[in-house]
């Protein structure tokens, strides 16, 4: 009985003497990954101003014989964590790994190869809308969409515009970061061309794709096989270019371009 009374007294003391809010916020030193936090930690983060959340969208698809099919998921999570830490007061949602990748009857686009998972575009749209709405009702004010795959960029842009109309009176909004993806086929590809890799740049599973993956997680690249590979072809799932000269060093500038573009977009959105 005495122990129970003392325990009750202890709980009562906590209730009437909470840590000052400022001290609680200063002591936040944990993961930025939403899925690694408890609900009470997430609630505290939101109360301390962590009202931006990044929704990283990846995809599961064939990327030639030398890159694992989870390429986009690994890359976008790696990048989202960097962006969140540089932006500050930002969390990262679980990666969306299922996206439109072509038809199943008949099999089209990447679905022509084993290792690809697809969703109908309307299902993808509804899923993203529900994810964003889930974060809005919890108290997040800026939901940031970044996508590592080119196939659904227009879908995300359209969805962001629709949700921003729907959310006009809520104080929350969606930010679609177009330049997160666009720097890869434009600025980064041009950087590779200017540095002597003009013929190696293609559209998919090329030197760009492979170098970015090597810089994020080399275990996802079958590097030994790549170094002894024959000339690449579309039949292998490599669309243009040549991945055989890819290195992690070549991938670093592309990763930096993506992070810089996203951080700038978030900063600009917050300042409006």
- The answer to whether residue 238 is domain-embedded is yes
Count: domains in the chain:
1
Which stretches does DSSP call E strand in 141-209? 142-147, 173-176
Task: Give me the domain span that covers residue 265.
Answer: 30-271
Helix and strand numbers, DSSP H then E, in the chain: 11, 4
User: What's the pLDDT tens digit per position in 8-32?
Assistant: 443 444 344 344 456 678 776 589 9
- The answer to whether residue 44 is domain-embedded is yes
Spans of the chain, pLDDT less than 70: 1-23, 28-29
> Tell me, what's the pLDDT at 29?
59
Which CATH number does the domain housing residue 99 bear?
A: 3.40.50.10310
- The answer to whether residue 40 is domain-embedded is yes
Closest CA to 176 of 161, 190, 194: 161
User: What's the pLDDT tens digit per position in 139-188?
Assistant: 999 999 999 999 999 999 999 999 999 999 999 999 999 999 999 999 99
- The answer to whether residue 194 is domain-embedded is yes
């Amino acid at each position: 009985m005495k122990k129970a009374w003392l325990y009750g007294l202890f709980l009562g003391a906590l209730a009437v003497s909470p840590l000052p809010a400022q001290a609680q916020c200063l002591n936040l030193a944990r993961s930025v990954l939403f899925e690694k936090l408890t609900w009470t930690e997430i609630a505290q983060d939101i109360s301390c101003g962590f009202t931006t959340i990044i929704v990283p969208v990846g995809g599961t698809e064939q990327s030639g014989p030398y890159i694992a099919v989870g390429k986009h998921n690994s890359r976008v999570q790696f990048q989202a964590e960097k962006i969140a830490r540089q932006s500050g007061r930002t969390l990262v949602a679980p990666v969306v790994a299922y996206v439109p990748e072509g038809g199943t009857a008949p099999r089209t686009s990447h679905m022509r190869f084993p290792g690809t998972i697809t969703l109908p575009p309307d299902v993808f749209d509804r899923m993203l809308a529900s994810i964003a709405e889930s974060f809005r009702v919890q108290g997040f004010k800026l939901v940031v969409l970044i996508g590592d795959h080119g196939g659904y960029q227009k879908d995300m842009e359209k969805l962001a515009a629709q949700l921003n109309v729907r959310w006009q009176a809520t104080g929350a909004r969606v930010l679609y970061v177009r330049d997160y993806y666009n720097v890869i086929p434009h600025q980064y590809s041009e950087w590779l061309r200017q540095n002597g890799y003009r013929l190696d740049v293609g559209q998919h599973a090329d030197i760009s794709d492979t170098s970015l993956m090597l810089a994020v997680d080399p275990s996802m690249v079958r590097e030994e096989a790549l170094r002894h590979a024959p000339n690449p072809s579309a039949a292998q799932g490599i669309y243009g270019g040549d991945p055989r000269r890819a290195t992690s060093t070549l991938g670093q500038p592309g990763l930096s371009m993506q992070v810089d573009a996203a951080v700038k977009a978030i900063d600009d959105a917050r300042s409006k």
